[in-house]
Each structure stands twice: as structure tokens, then as C-alpha cells.
């Protein structure tokens, strides 16, 4: 089945997400769709999968124009979308998720789960995926959840598979295995659209590539004809430097020291098991690992958001295990949260109000029980200039800023105070390339000023680029430590550690 997109345009309010896009998707071919965050890739695919209707343009299947009034139509036409953020119901089982929308039924609308289970297991076996049928999604690790998404698409006899940033949750080894599955599907005659912002993946897996920038197709062709630098320049619109050029570090004393920290969650499951790690002044330490292996809990333990069941958290020689979040702020621990919209800012507040979100109570902006808004606003304006937060005014609602500017605002707020330790969790997720460069530079500058920086990221490239030392986390434990001061850390070895291949058994 071949699909052609002709002149697709889609607008949301004042934003033109897709502008006159034309694309050829051919059977037996992997088409790589390359673009940075915010370029419009997901919107385009949502149009193809029927979730949105295009404002103008046509979709043609084997030369015949079709119209999708909803996802059901596109599914029926044989288009299967594997979303970046899984569309799985956590409290349903694998089978229930796979059959949702195309359930086998008996009389009186009776849900025939037995028949469903058989059908799902057949597909499971045919492609060698090994997914347990009756386990609830919320009890499955992320890598397996992704396979359920693929099962969903195959269950509906899809001829076209759209894979939206599929490798975000995989270790390097798992990525290789995943590519194997993709090639097998391609060779079986399916058409694959592979959406990513990672250049080396495009070069490795795609037969053809199209580059999307700010809603338009700006180039494309056979990947082997381009270098990574060419593709990056097409993606961003200007030459891009890949490395922040961080120079050597001169580490000093221990600023953060975790001693045998164990953390248990509300359901009494162990999330961190006897973590021992440290971050010194004047160095950047990176935590590598697939998301969901305890990184979030590690950040919570360090910042005071979650209590520690046993062990100690030491900060510059002081035991802060029992200190509150606010106390840790005052001591000089800054935190850039992994989900800025959820925990890092208040979208309905102005930029100025967001800038004082965790300093409103101290002398810098407060006078007695009152807040001196004048001072707060002036400080916010100065911070915006210094940290390149592009907004016409500090009185604008922060929700109106782009993702990159929102993140820079959060970074500005955290780095502007007197800090000694910066904990940056997924600092450049969902951020445009220009802002990524800026934030990376800021973190290095922070290090060079003699502070300690801890970065948690699921993008291994970011960790390798920024860190002087790297810890790897797997299932709540530190499984490896690597020295990266001369950027020599072995990517393959890190990947193995991320998959838990070399961890010691839990005593």
C-alpha cells in the first residue's frame, strides 16, 4: 500500500503547524521523518492517523483520495500509529489494550476475552515478541509496553506503521533489536514512517529521509547522501555545533554525597536500593539510564520531595536527610524539574510570578509578610535578559511561551540564586535546538563557577556531551560509574549497564 500526502496544511490558533506538506510513503520502505521538537512531525502524523482533519490538502491511498473523519477510518484503511507517549490504559491488561476498539464479541455484546487472548498470542508468537497476555500495563516495564503498542497495530492488520520517536525508552542494545524488528516488517512489505530527531538513527535505519522544519518540508532524499551535519543544518536552519565544548573540569570537595540511600514508595516497593554516589564542586555528573529505573526517585531523595527510608543525604558535610524541600532550597540546592509544565511552573501565572515561585518568602523579594512585587518584577526582567527568555513582557502568562523559553525561564529562576548544587532533570526535553545549546552552555558555566551540577537525562548523547563523570542506573541501583573527563566513555559499555547486564545481585 502506498500513501501520498499532498499539500497538507494544519493550523492551531495562531500557529501554522503544517504548511503545504507533500510526502510519499511507499510499501517496503522505511521513510525517516526528521525534525526537532516543535517542527510539526507529530501534528502531521496525527493528521495521517485521523486524529486531526487537515485544513487543506489531500491524502491519497494507492492514488485514490481518501478522507478520515476519525482515527477509526484511518485504522480501517490499514494505517497503524505507534505513539511517542503510549496510548495504553494502565489498569487494563495487555489483551484488553490490544483489542480496544476492535473487540471480538458474542451475543448481547458479550466481550469474548478468550478468543481475544488466542488471537493476541498468535501475533505474539509470529513476530517473536513474548508479551504476557493478562498482566496489567502498569505492572510492565516500559520496553515491554512499547511492544504492546506494536501488537495493537499489528492486530489491526496495519500495512503502514507510523513509529513516533520509538527509541526514547530503549537502551542502545534494545535499539538494535528494535531496528531488527523494523527491518523485518519492512521486508514483509509494510510501509514504515520513522519519526525521530536523532540523526544517527535516520542514517542507520531509513531508506529515505524528509526533513521538517517549522511546519514545512525543507529537504530530503537518500540518507547516505547526507552527513549528520547536513541533516542537522536542514533541521535547524543554520549550522549546528554538536558539542557544547565543555573543557576540562577542576573538581573540588564533595558537595552532594549519598550514603546507602534506600527509598520506598507509597505502595511499599523499593525504588532506590542502597545508592552511593557523590557530586563534587566544579564538576558535572550525569545519570544515564532508561527512564523509570529510579531516576525520578533519586531526584526526589536529593531535593527532599520524598522521604528516605534509610541511608543519609549529605550536603557539603551537613546531614540533610531530614531537611524539608524549602530548607534545601535555602541551603543552595536548585532543581530543574523533569516536567516543567507539571511541576516547574504555573502556566496561568505571569513570567514575573513564576520567577519568584520558590524565592518569594526570602529577603530577596519579601518584606515582612508582604511580597515586594516591584522588586520581583525588576529581577525577573533582568533574569529574562540574562537567560535569553524571549517574551515581550514579564507580565505575560508563562503558558504563552514556547517550550524552549519556558524551560529557559525555569533555568533562569534556578540558576540565578546563590546555588551550590544544581539538579537538572531532563533539562532539554521538548526544547528547540537553539534553547538546548543555550541551556547546555549555562550548565557548563555553572560548573565553571565552582558549583556542582547533576544531570539526569534519558538522552545518552546529552549525558556524554556534558558529563565529567557518569553513573548508570538500572532498577533502582547504580550499576556502573564511568569517567568521561576526556569524553572517552564507551557508549557500548554504558548501554550494557543501562540494560542491567553487569549489575551485582541484590544482597
Partner 1 sequence: MTRSSDTHGSPRNDGNQHNGSSHDRGNAGDSLRALLAPTIDTRGNLREIILIPLAAVFMALLIGALIMMATSVEPHIILRSFVAMADGSVGSLNAISETLTASIPLVLAGLGIGLAFRAGLFNIGAEGQMVVGGLMAAVVSFSVTGLPMALHLPLVLVSGLLVGGLYAAIAGFLRAATGAHEVISTIMLNLISIRLLDYLLRQPFIQKEGRSDPISKAVLETAELPRLLSFIDPNLRLHFGLFLMLGAVILIYWLLYRSKLGFAFRISGENPDAARYAGIRAGLTIVIAMAIAGGLAGLAGAAQVTGVLGRATPGFTAGIGFDAIAVALLGRSHPVGILLAGVLFGALEAGGRQMQVDAGVSIDMISIIQALIIIFVAAPLLVKRIMPFLFADRPKEDADHG
Partner 2 sequence: MADQTQMDPARLAASQPVANVTDWRRIISGFTLVMLAAIVLFLLDAPWDSVSTFRISRPRDTWAVGNLVVPSQLINTLAAIILAFLGTRLFLRGGGRWTGLSLGVGLIILAMAFLVWATAGKAISLTGMLQATVVRAVPIALAALGGILCERVAVINIAIEGMLLAGAFAGALFGSLMGGWAGIICAMLTGGVFGLLLAVLVITYRVDQIIAGVVINLFVLGLTSYVSSQVFAEFRWLNKATPFRAFKIPVLGDIPLIGPVLFNQNLFVYGALIMVTLSTYYLFYTRMGLRARAVGEHPRAADTLGIDVIKTRYAHVIAAGMVAGFGGAWFTLGSVGRFDENMTFGRGFIGLAAMIFGRWHPLGALAAALVFGFADSLQQKLSILNTPIPSEFLSMAPYIATIVVVAGLVGRARPPAAIGKAYTKD
Question: Any contact of residue 290 with partner 2 (CB under 8 A)?
Answer: no
Residue 218 binds which of partner 1, partner 2, none (CB < 5-8 A, kind-dependent): none
Q: For partner 1, which residue of 111, 222, 229, 346 counts as binding (CB under 8 A)?
A: 346
Residue 105 binds which of partner 1, partner 2, none (CB < 5-8 A, kind-dependent): partner 2
Q: Which residue number, 106 or 252, has a Cβ lying nearer to partner 2? A: 106
* Grid-cell match 516543567, residue found: 340
CA 115 to chain CA centroid, nearest Å: 37
Binding part of the chain for partner 2, among 127-135, 253-261, 444-452, 462-470 by CB under 8 A, reads: 127-135
DSSP state of 503: P
Among positions 426-485, residues that touch partner 2 (CB under 8 A) are: 475-477
Least distance in angstroms from the C-beta of 264 to partner 2: 5
Question: Any contact of residue 332 with partner 1 (CB under 8 A)?
Answer: no
Q: For partner 1, which residue of 119, 341, 364, 485 counts as binding (CB under 8 A)?
A: 341
- The kind and range of the H/E element at 412 are helix 403-416
Among positions 58-77, residues that touch partner 2 (CB under 8 A) are: 70-73, 75
Binding part of the chain for partner 2, among 3-11, 304-312, 379-387, 400-408 by CB under 8 A, reads: 304-312
Q: Classify 18 as helix, strand or coil.
A: strand
- All 3 cell numbers of residue 228? 549528520
Q: Is the dihedral of CA 336, 339, 341, 346 positive or negative?
A: negative
Question: Any contact of residue 276 with partner 2 (CB under 8 A)?
Answer: no
Distance CA 501, CA 470 (A): 17
Among positions 266-325, residues that touch partner 1 (CB under 8 A) are: 303, 305, 324-325
Burial zone of 459 (CB within 10 Å; 0-12 exposed, 13-18 middle, 19+ buried): middle
Cα angle value 217/220/225 (rounded, 5°): 160
Pairing of strands 370-371, 366-367: antiparallel
Question: Any contact of residue 49 with partner 2 (CB under 8 A)?
Answer: yes
Question: Any contact of residue 122 with partner 2 (CB under 8 A)?
Answer: no
Least distance in angstroms from the C-beta of 171 to partner 2: 11
Residue 467 binds which of partner 2, partner 1, none (CB < 5-8 A, kind-dependent): none
> Do residues 340 and 390 make contact, with C-beta atoms less than 8 angstroms apart?
no
- In order, the DSSP letters of 195-229 are EES-HHHHHHH-SEEEEEETTEEEEEE-GGGS-HH
> Do residues 409 and 380 make contact, with C-beta atoms less than 8 angstroms apart?
no
Residues of this chain that bind partner 2 (CB under 8 A): 12, 49-52, 70-73, 75, 81, 83, 86-92, 96, 100-103, 105, 108-111, 129-132, 135, 139-141, 143-144, 152, 262, 264, 266, 268-271, 273, 292-293, 307-310, 475-477, 505-507
Amino acid at each position: 500500500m502506498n500513501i501520498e500526502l499532498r499539500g497538507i496544511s494544519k493550523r492551531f490558533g495562531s500557529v501554522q503547524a503544517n504548511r503545504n506538506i507533500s510526502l510519499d510513503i511507499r510499501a517496503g520502505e522505511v521513510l525517516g521523518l526528521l525534525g526537532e521538537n516543535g517542527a510539526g512531525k507529530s501534528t502531521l502524523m496525527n493528521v495521517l492517523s485521523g486524529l486531526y482533519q487537515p485544513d487543506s490538502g489531500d491524502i491519497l491511498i494507492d492514488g485514490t483520495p481518501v478522507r478520515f473523519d476519525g482515527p477509526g477510518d484511518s485504522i480501517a484503511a490499514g494505517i497503524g500509529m505507534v505513539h511517542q507517549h503510549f496510548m495504553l490504559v494502565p489498569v487494563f491488561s495487555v489483551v484488553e489494550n490490544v483489542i480496544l476498539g476492535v473487540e471480538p464479541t458474542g451475543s448481547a455484546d458479550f466481550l469474548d476475552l478468550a478468543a481475544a487472548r488466542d488471537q493476541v498470542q498468535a501475533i505474539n508468537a509470529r513476530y517473536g515478541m513474548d508479551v504476557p497476555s493478562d498482566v496489567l500495563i502498569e505492572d510492565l516495564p516500559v520496553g515491554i509496553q512499547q511492544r504492546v503498542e506494536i501488537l495493537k497495530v499489528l492486530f489491526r492488520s496495519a500495512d503502514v506503521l507510523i513509529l513516533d520517536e520509538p527509541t526514547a525508552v530503549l537502551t542502545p542494545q534494545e535499539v538494535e533489536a528494535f531496528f531488527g524488528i523494523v527491518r523485518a516488517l519492512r521486508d514483509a512489505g509494510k510501509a514504515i514512517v520513522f519519526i525521530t530527531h536523532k540523526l544517527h538513527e535516520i542514517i542507520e535505519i531509513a531508506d529515505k529521509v524528509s526533513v521538517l522544519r517549522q511546519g514545512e518540508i525543507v529537504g530530503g532524499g537518500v540518507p547516505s547522501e547526507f552527513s549528520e551535519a547536513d541533516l542537522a543544518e536542514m533541521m535547524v536552519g543554520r549550522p549546528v555545533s554538536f558539542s557544547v565544548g565543555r573543557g576540562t573540569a577542576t573538581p573540588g570537595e564533595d558537595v552532594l554525597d549519598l550514603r546507602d540511600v534506600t527509598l520506598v514508595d507509597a505502595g511499599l516497593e523499593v525504588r532506590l536500593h542502597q545508592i552511593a554516589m557523590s557530586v563534587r564542586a566544579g564538576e558535572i555528573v550525569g545519570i544515564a539510564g532508561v527512564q523509570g529505573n529510579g531516576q525520578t526517585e533519586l531526584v526526589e531523595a536529593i531535593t527532599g520531595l520524598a522521604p528516605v527510608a534509610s541511608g543519609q543525604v549529605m550536603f557539603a558535610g551537613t546531614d540533610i536527610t531530614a531537611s524539608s524541600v524549602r530548607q534545601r532550597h535555602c541551603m543552595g540546592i536548585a532543581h530543574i524539574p523533569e516536567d516543567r509544565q507539571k511541576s516547574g511552573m504555573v502556566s496561568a501565572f505571569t513570567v514575573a510570578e513564576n520567577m519568584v515561585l520558590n524565592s518569594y518568602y526570602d529577603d530577596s523579594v519579601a518584606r515582612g509578610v508582604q511580597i515586594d512585587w516591584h522588586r520581583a518584577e525588576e529581577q525577573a526582567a533582568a533574569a529574562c535578559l540574562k537567560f535569553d527568555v524571549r517574551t515581550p513582557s514579564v507580565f505575560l502568562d508563562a503558558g504563552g511561551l514556547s517550550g524552549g523559553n519556558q524551560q529557559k525561564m525555569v533555568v533562569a529562576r534556578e540558576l540565578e540564586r546563590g546555588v551550590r548544587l544544581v539538579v537538572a532533570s531532563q533539562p532539554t526535553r521538548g526544547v528547540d535546538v537553539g534553547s538546548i545549546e543555550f541551556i547546555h552552555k549555562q550548565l557548563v558555566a555553572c560548573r565553571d563557577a565552582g558549583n556542582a551540577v547533576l544531570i539526569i537525562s534519558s538522552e545518552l548523547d546529552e549525558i556524554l556531551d556534558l558529563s565529567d563523570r557518569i553513573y548508570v542506573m538500572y532498577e533502582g541501583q547504580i550499576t556502573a560509574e564511568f569517567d568521561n573527563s576526556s569524553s572517552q566513555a564507551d557508549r557500548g559499555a554504558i548501554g550494557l549497564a543501562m540494560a542491567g547486564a553487569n549489575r551485582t545481585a541484590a544482597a
